[in-house]
Structure 1
Amino acid sequence: MRIFISTGEVSGDLQGSLLITALKRQAVVIGLELEIVALGGEKMVEAGAILLGNTSSIGSMGILEGLPYILPTLQVQRQAIASLKQNPPDLVVLIDYMSPNIGIGTYMKRQLPDVPVVYYIAPQEWAWSLSLRRTNRIVGFTDKLLAIFPQEARYFREQGAKVSWVGHPLVDRMQDAPSREAARATLGIAPEEIAIALLPASRRQELKYLLPIIFQAAQTIQAKLPEVRFWIPLSLEVYRQPIEEAIERYGLRATVVSGQQKEVFAAADLAISKSGTVNLELALLNVPQVVVYRLSALTAWIARKMLKGSISFASPPNLVVMKPIVPEFLQEEATAENIIQAAMELLLNPSRREQTLADYEEMRQSLGEIGVCDRAAQEILQMLPQSL
């Protein structure tokens, strides 16, 4: 059986790889042989996918920011559709990656209506939809939607989708994270050392808008707390040079690591991070964090005019429970001063830290039980023609 999986960006590649591993595991249980072709990245290749196009670095947030990626996105979408047309799969799985996946899903509905389409980790229309137009398109071409949040399941079910809530895949991923002690031993972090994870970028635009303010804040924190050392796990190897150059420029005591993200997270006393999936990973490992995000001034202005304050929160931990469990600073509020103040309080105020950990525990209840990826894989394999 041939399954086509479509996703993009660093987080999509991670989620795709976790799903592929679970699909292969569940296929063995029912005696099924799978071939998986995909749009994704290196992690999916490692998990056993045949890549039609690498989309892990094609992505951005915002209108102006997205302009350089329009052509590469269209090219990879056309490439995928040509492959689907020439060699139709038995099933299609879409993971996040809204615009390209809506295009692929629409094509499937029109041209290959007999091939089931599953949407896993659907676009966050439940959190910030301006209208039902996109939601209706997603519901229109999706045979089954696998929701990762209860609110998401409720929203899409109310709009007419066939929905199963499977839980969030990061619940599975963080199960094999090392203990704090083991992680600090692996990285060579002394007991008295304060380890702060810096997570400035998984997209190129974030190097421009986020890295300077995060590193400015780090510079001041380092001056206030001499026992601090910063750890920067790379999302993509291509970012190593600009990050290392910035470390030197700001005079930070910082170590850049590749392939040891879980160790850095498990060892950290605090994280200063961009907004994204990574915030949930930190929360699941009980790491207090300060979240920042910035877009171009024009994109922010357009978004405010269109959304008119309809987005309460940006970071996933806050969105899940709809309350500010981690400090987040967006746009004009994303300043080094605000980051420093919030970071120092989380580091030095035990009651603030304890409150964060209690809030993380509440958030965890909305992410489901362990076994998410296997549940998702079982739901997907049941949709294959021979399983009906």
Structure 2
Amino acid sequence: MPPRPTTDTVRKIVLIATEESGDRLGANLMKVLRQRLGDAVQFEGVGGRAMAREGMNSWFPIEELSIIGLAAVVKQLPKILRLIKQTAAAVTEAAPDILVIIDSPDFTHRVAKRVRASDPKIPIVDYVSPSVWAWRPGRARAMLTYVDHVLALLPFEPEAYLRLRGPPCSYVGHPLTEQLASLRPNPEERQRREAPPPVLLVLPGSRRSEIRHHMAVFGQALARLNAEGVAFELILPTMPHLQEAVAEALKTWTVQPRVVIGEQEKRAAFRIAHAALAKSGTVTLELALAGVPMVTAYRTGAVEAWILQRVINVSSVILANLVIGENVAPEFLQQDCTPEKLSQVLRELLGESALRRKQLEAFANIDRIMSTGNLPPSARAADIVLSTMRKARR
């Protein structure tokens, strides 16, 4: 029987994730790290339910940072700053072998800067790069002072860090690449995807503000399509916490969708979808991996739109386009997001058009572009975390 690890051999790893997506990434990383280190690892930090199942006793509930909208952030700023200060102090007191910050850069990077100032010996890995390639590129070089390695989810990000003179950055893979079976149709679902009437997905967003900005214009676009005699079966996937907001917004729609609730039902809808009308974001990458042609749109408040128009410096805001390296999915932003423009492109995508064929051909290459070889993203991430930790101990 192997000897139990002593205090000197147990590796203490602090992870900080403050959103559900980061919580899932953190949980998968913890699982692999425990496989690599066995009983010789101890986890501390901040996380949600998924990380708790892997042994994390969170320093505070991540729901305390579920703040949406500029006005809400301003109102809660003293609380946010207090939590940043307390979290950084807790990391320094824990004196871990490594700190892993996961996404949520407005919070986690502020913690990391404080930790580096308090104890420069603690190595810091950033899991999920901030969008330095899209806006505020100077952040990449600034990160050199407090981040030792960046774990990128998107294949073009390491090159961006080289160009912007940021810290070392490695592409570890996107978690969606581990979920392809749930996104792609079996033979029966493929048959439904190609059969009339075509299934059209409408995806207005995963936040209440996005529902508020997109539902009306999406409903008007679909009404135009219906009035023109275009046949389709409409499905609207959403999450439980948005069900009431969606139901209220649907009262003004003349074409009523079948509403499906939860991640499992959403993926089932993706597997039979012929086309989609989607808010820009990660969902566009999900649709591309599922092989569903799309038209994308985004609307936000006037102040946020004014700021974004002046700082974004990429050719597309659509994640699928950026990964593919070509603007194959049409995007309609702010004043360009109109019922007329959306319905016109949807009509093309529901038929056998050149636009539809172009998207399908581009999506066929996405597996190659996003490949990480034989190792899943969480395993590649764990290897770099352990390697960074070992270098710091020399």
For the aligned pair, the TM-score class normalised by the smaller chain equals 0.7 to 0.9
Identify unmatched segments of 5+ residues in structure 2. 1-10
- What is the DSSP-based 3-state SS (H/G/I as helix, E as strand, rest coil) of the residue aligned with 1:170? helix
Task: Provide, for residues 231-250 of structure 1, a one-character-per-residue CA deviation record: whole Å limited to 9, x for no partner.
Answer: 3132xx32111112222331
Q: How does 1:227-238 map to 2 (within 5 A)?
A: 227-234=232-239, 237-238=240-241
The equivalent of 1:358 in structure 2 is 361
Task: Provide, for residues 320-361 of structure 1, a one-character-per-residue CA deviation record: whole Å limited to 9, x for no partner.
Answer: 244311111111111222211111111113432221011123
Over aligned residue pairs, what C-alpha RMSD do you find?
A: 3.1
Distance 1:14 1:226 in 2: 36
Task: Provide, for residues 24-72 of structure 1, a one-character-per-residue CA deviation record: whole Å limited to 9, x for no partner.
Answer: 13532443544444545444445654333325973557x6685456456
The equivalent of 2:15 in structure 1 is 5
Q: How does 1:34-49 map to 2 (within 5 A)?
A: 34-45=41-52, 49=56
- Opposite residue 5 of structure 1, the aligned amino acid is L
- Deviation, 1:2, is 3.5
Residue 197 (structure 1) aligned to one of 195, 198, 201: 201
CA contact (8 A) 1:95 1:120 kept: yes
Distance 1:189 1:231 in 2: 16
Distance 2:109 2:350 in 1: 43
Identify unmatched segments of 5+ residues in structure 1. none
The equivalent of 2:88 in structure 1 is 81
The equivalent of 1:21 in structure 2 is 28
Q: How does 1:1-388 map to 2 (within 5 A)?
A: 1-9=11-19, 13-45=20-52, 49-51=56-58, 52-55=60-63, 58=66, 60=68, 67=74, 70=77, 73-129=80-136, 131-132=137-138, 134-158=139-163, 159-177=165-183, 179-181=185-187, 192-223=196-227, 224-234=229-239, 237-251=240-254, 252-260=256-264, 261-304=266-309, 306-307=310-311, 310-369=313-372, 371-384=376-389
- Opposite residue 87 of structure 2, the aligned amino acid is A
CA contact (8 A) 2:16 2:46 kept: yes
CA contact (8 A) 1:24 1:34 kept: no
Distance 1:219 1:38 in 2: 49
- What is the DSSP-based 3-state SS (H/G/I as helix, E as strand, rest coil) of the residue aligned with 1:384? helix
Q: Which structure is richer in relative contact order (CA contacts within 8 A, separation 6 or more)?
A: 1
Q: TM-score, normalization: structure 1? A: 0.84
CA contact (8 A) 1:313 1:322 kept: no
Distance 1:381 1:387 in 2: 11
CA contact (8 A) 2:158 2:169 kept: yes
- What is the DSSP-based 3-state SS (H/G/I as helix, E as strand, rest coil) of the residue aligned with 1:167? coil
- Opposite residue 161 of structure 2, the aligned amino acid is F
- Deviation, 1:271, is 1.9
Give aligned-pair identity as a percent.
25
Q: TM-score, normalization: structure 2? A: 0.83
Distance 1:40 1:194 in 2: 41
Count of equivalent residues: 376
